[in-house]
Amino acid sequence: MDIDFNKKASSDALSDSKKPLDLILVRAIMSCSTCGKEKKFRNQFLRKDLELMVVALKVFDWMVCNKCGELFRLDLEFRV
């Protein structure tokens, strides 16, 4: 019984490693339309952790330029 279980587990691991890495690369570029200041952030998320990305983007949503107080414009680039 134990042997059967181990066999199954190792074959599962094998099929997992064949899959392409389930990573989504995200680049967020914040730019200020008033003074042109730019900030770039890069992060990567597992497809199954997409919720984490939403949480991270919510933080960006209210970021303002520390130079002139203008709300940043947010551009996103995804590499899936």
| Residue ranges that bind Zn ion, judged by CB under 5 A | 32, 34-35, 37, 65, 67-68, 70
- The conformation of residue 54, written as its DSSP 8-state character, comes to H
Cβ-based nearer residue to Zn ion, 11 or 36: 36
Work out how close the CB of 29 gets to Zn ion at its nearest, in angstroms, rounded to a whole number. 14
Report the sign of the C-alpha dihedral through residues 68, 73, 74, 77, in that order. Answer: negative
- The conformation of residue 12, written as its DSSP 8-state character, comes to H
Work out how close the CB of 33 gets to Zn ion at its nearest, in angstroms, rounded to a whole number. 8
Cβ-based nearer residue to Zn ion, 23 or 68: 68
CA distance 58 to 78: 16
